[in-house]
Chain A
Amino acid sequence: NAGVTQTPKFQVLKTGQSMTLQCAQDMNHNSMYWYRQDPGMGLRLIYYSASEGTTDKGEVPNGYNVSRLNKREFSLRLESAAPSQTSVYFCASSPLGYQPQHFGDGTRLSIL
Chain B
Amino acid sequence: QQQVKQSPQSLIVQKGGISIINCAYENTAFDYFPWYQQFPGKGPALLIAIRPDVSEKKEGRFTISFNKSAKQFSLHIMDSQPGDSATYFCAASFSNQFYFGTGTSLTVIP
Interface residues of A (CB under 8 A from B): 4, 31, 33, 35, 40-45, 48, 50, 56, 58-59, 90, 92, 97-98, 100-106
* Minimum Cβ distance to chain A for residue B90 (Å): 9
Query: Contacts A43-B44, A43-B89 hold; do A100 and B100 have CB atoms under 8 A apart?
Result: no
Query: Contacts A40-B102, A41-B102, A42-B89 hold; do A48 and B96 have CB atoms under 8 A apart?
Result: yes
Which residues of B have CB within 8 Å of A44? 100
Instruction: Tell whether, in the assembled complex, residue A4 and residue B43 are in contact, meaning their CB atoms are under 8 Å apart.
Output: yes
* Minimum Cβ distance to chain B for residue A99 (Å): 9
Instruction: Tell whether, in the assembled complex, residue B96 and residue A50 are in contact, meaning their CB atoms are under 8 Å apart.
Output: yes
**Bound Cα distance from A40 to B45, whole angstroms:** 19
Interface residues of B (CB under 8 A from A): 4, 6, 31-32, 34, 36, 41-46, 49, 89, 91, 93, 95-103
A/B interface sample: 8 pairs, CB < 8 A: A31-B96, A44-B100, A45-B99, A90-B43, A100-B34, A103-B45, A104-B43, A105-B41
Which residues of B have CB within 8 Å of A104? 43
**Bound Cα distance from A90 to B96, whole angstroms:** 16
Q: Which 8 A-B pairs have the closest CB atoms?
A: A103-B43, A97-B96, A42-B100, A43-B100, A100-B46, A42-B102, A105-B43, A103-B44
